[in-house]
Amino acid sequence: MLLKDLAHDLERHWLRAVLAAWLAICVWLVWQRWAGIHWFALGDTDDNLRMVQVRDWLAGQGWYDLRQYRLNAPEGANIHWSRLVDLPIAALMLVFRLFMSPFDADRWAAALAPLIPLLVIMLGVALACRRLVHPLAPLPAFVALIFSAMLMTMVQPLRIDHHNWQLAMVGLVMAGLADPDGRRGGSTAGLASAASLSIGMEMFPYLGLAGATIALRWVWMGTDAAPRLKAYGQSLSIGTALGFLLFASHANWAARCDALTPVWGGAMVAAGVLAAVLASLRLDGRGGRLGAAALGGALLAAGFAWLAPQCLSNLEGISPEVKRLWFNNIREVRPVFLQAPKSKIPLLISVGIGLAGHGLLLWRCRRDDRLAAAAGVALMALAAALMLMWQGRAGPVAQLLSLPGIAALAVGAGEVLFARLAAPVAMGALAVLIMGFGGAGGQWGVRWLPANASAKAKPGRAKTPDPARMARRCSTIPAHAPLNRLPAAKVFTFVDLAPRLITITHHNSITGPYHRNGNLILDVHRAFRATPDAARALVVDRHHADYVLICPGSPESTLYTRDAPHGFYAQLAAGHAPDWLEPVALAGATPFRIWRVRTESVTSDKPVLDLRGKTPTSPTQHRPESAR
């Protein structure tokens, strides 16, 4: 009776329950990240650059101009993003600026903006679980969500990167596939797919598979599934066209393969039109419908290959050298089995349990109307799990798509437990199971793994700095404060340091980790691996930098010491600067080391520039903002 009463209440008030759960999770996330919010500890390079992009737009940069002019000034760096994700961040910043300082407005906008896509994700998951599994299924799904570490990382405060909105759209696609109302479900899936593609192409494999399952449903069911396919095609084509016209930057009007450009925009509009046309055909037999769908798909694929052969591989358009020196060293693009145990074990446990749950769900609804929808969501989950074998960055979407499966297992286990045990005991046992399903068991288990012996300092040898710890130190506001005492200048620094540098100081830099700027990335990587004389040609002659900045021991620096143990960076880290650089002493316990490029008027015996306890006095030198 307890479960029946609870299910009845949730069926009537499911939206209130979702909102209550969302508010509770929001409070927990803000409390957990309070120190990070205070110190404006934006999560990674993309979060930092997103903040700079929004600031620049609010300061007057054009809507369709997404070049970042504080990188590679004056030409700027080519950023392939979309303005769509900027909108909620900018709206919050403008509201908060009415009663806060600009810095506090930026902090709280970055803190609260990710909680909006979290709500969309929870709504999508709740709808999919209610429609496919059981009215109570959203509850275990939300518990599993909390313990899905990689997924929750994407929606925690300060994560203003675009991936959380892409995940939110995948959640809505799941809800659309599960919707028993064909027209509404097709429209939801089509519009959510168009919005996700307008943001970026990362979710394309899963969105494409969702569209294929809608088409296959029409092949199998005929006219009963035609309204869903037609609504999907119409909303996909119209939504994609509007997304391109409203949000594609000037740079994305070129025939590129890494964003919603004319290449992918045209293909998606054509795919939507094809789906709508297929749904309008009066074909009685499954064979005829399958033939029509196969012919249409083949024509679409052939046209794409003919018009955009460059997009059949190497979507990023990067050179082999950029791939070797930089791209292949990015942790998230490596297969999951090469990730650290503390990351991959909980991830694989939750995804594996989710796939098992999808199998159970398919078995339980094999003879009812939910089968086609359940199969569509299960195929997306399987695709994400397989994608992990190629790139670990599929982890968040794999955990998201596993939630309906975890919910199905939890509901099945709950039915057994409540039938055999007293309600309090059954409730406790079920809670433990759900947390384990969501990855909590894996997170707890990895704590008992033996430490990596290679990470321990050997007797008589200095302990090697932890790269992750050094990366955190080099991203803090206190670490950057001494840099803000220097006059505003162009700073030649690591690719991964530049976005944070331009976010919390007044300095400019060369480039960040953005693949369209492959030549700039190469210049940085070549310079720090080169001899000091060769590095000077890049730092001074090509980029006219005023300073060289390093953070010894940070993750990127390990690449330079590994590949060039006697190169430019290695010599700087060892304290051996070439004569064209002048060391600058910084105040405080900063992890940075910085050198000023000598001009022709500087003599070799000039004393070290010392800024400890001093601030710029020249009228041309900028004082840092008080909040930074």
DSSP class per residue in 257-303: SSSSSHHHHHHHHHHHHHHHHHHH----SHHHHHHHHHHHHHHHHHH
* Tokens at 310, concatenated: 């460059």
What is the average per-residue pLDDT within 606-626? 35
Residue 7 has pLDDT above 80, yes or no: no
H-helix or E-strand spanning residue 595: strand 593-597
Nearest in space to 204 (alpha carbons), one of 261, 166, 239: 166
Of 241-245, 454-458, 495-499, which range is least confident? 454-458
> What's the whole-number average pLDDT of the chain?
88
Burial class (CB in 10 A: 0-12, 13-18, 19+), 503: buried
509 membership: H or E segment, kind and range:
strand 508-509
- In angstroms, rounded to a whole number, what is the distance separating the alpha carbons of residues 222 and 227? 10
> The whole model's pTM is what?
0.90
35 vs 434: which has the higher pLDDT: 35
Please state at what angle helix 102-112 crosses helix 45-58, rounded to 10 degrees: 130
Distance separating alpha carbons of residues 6 and 135, to the nearest angstrom: 9
How many other C-beta atoms are found inside a 10 Å radius of the C-beta of residue 223?
Answer: 11
Residue 612 pLDDT exceeds 60: no
Rg of the chain, C-alpha, whole Å: 27
348/388 Cα distance (integer angstroms)? 9
Residue 608 in this model has a pLDDT that exceeds 50: no
Q: Which residue has the tokens 């998230």?
A: 332
pLDDT for 466 equals: 62
Q: Which residue has the tokens 């506001």?
A: 477
Tokens of 342: 């503390």
Of the pLDDT bands very low, low, confident and very high (cuts 50, 70, 90), residue 624 is: very low
pLDDT (average), residues 214-237:
96
What percentage of the chain exceeds 70 in pLDDT? Answer: 88
604: number of Cβ within 10 Å? 8
Q: What span, in angstroms and rounded, lies between the C-alpha atoms of 353 and 455?
A: 32
494 CA to centre of own chain: 21
CA distances from 465 to 3, 29, 473, 501 (A): 53, 30, 11, 22
Is the pLDDT at 254 greater than 60? The verdict is yes
Q: And the tokens for 484?
A: 């803000």
> What residue type is assigned to position 298 of the chain?
A
Per-domain residue ranges for the chain?
2-25+115-429, 43-112, 467-610
pLDDT of residue 315: 86
CB neighbour class for 123 (10 Å; exposed up to 12, middle 13-18, buried from 19):
buried
Q: What are the strands of the beta sheet with 581-585, ordered from one edge?
A: 508-509, 490-492, 547-550, 593-597, 581-585, 609-610
Alpha-carbon distance values, 324 to 82, 338, 534 (Å) = 28, 17, 20
Per-residue pLDDT tens for 419-459?
A: 777 777 777 777 777 776 666 655 555 565 555 434 444 44
Query: Hunting for tokens 């997924």 — which residue is that?
Result: 151
Distance between CA atoms of residues 137 and 123, nearest Å: 13
CA distances from 155 to 132, 148, 197, 506, 558 (A): 25, 11, 19, 28, 29
CA nearest to 232, candidates 199, 171, 274, 169: 274
What token pair was written down for 478? 């206190």
Q: Which 3 state secondary structure label does DSSP give 492? A: strand
Say which residue the tokens 């316990």 belong to: 589
Distance CA 47, CA 36 (A): 13
Closest CA to 145 of 317, 400, 337: 400
pLDDT digits (tens, 9 = 90+) for 276-313: 999 999 888 999 999 999 999 999 999 999 999 999 98
